[in-house]
Amino acid sequence: MVANFVFVTMANCVASDKESASASAVASATIIAPVQIAKTKDLNFGNITPSNAAGSVSLKTNGSRITKGGTSLPTNDPGKPTVAEFTITGEGNSAYSITIPKENITIINEDGSSMTINNIVCELKETGAMTNGRQTYRIGATLNVGPAQQKGHYINENDLCITVSYN
Model confidence pLDDT, tens digit, residues 44-87: 999 999 999 999 999 999 999 999 999 999 989 999 999 999 99
**pTM of the predicted model, to two decimals?**
0.82
Is the model more confident about 9 or about 15?
A: 15
AA identity, residue 46 = G
Query: Quick one: CATH architecture of 35-166?
Result: Sandwich (2.60)
Cα Rg of the chain, angstroms: 26
The rounded distance, in Å, linking the Cα atoms of 133 and 124 is: 16
> CA torsion 161→162→166→167, rounded to 10°?
110
Which sequence spans correspond to the domains of the chain? 35-166
**Does residue 5 carry a pLDDT above 90?**
no
How does pLDDT run across 131-149, given as a tens digit for each residue?
899 999 999 999 999 999 9
pLDDT (average), residues 11-28:
79
**Does residue 124 carry a pLDDT above 90?**
no
The rounded distance, in Å, linking the Cα atoms of 101 and 119 is: 9
What are the Cα distances from residue 163, in Å, to 39, 44, 149? 11, 20, 32
Closest CA to 93 of 146, 136, 134, 47: 134
Predicted local confidence at residue 9, as pLDDT: 47
Per-residue pLDDT band for 11 (boundaries 50, 70, 90) equals low
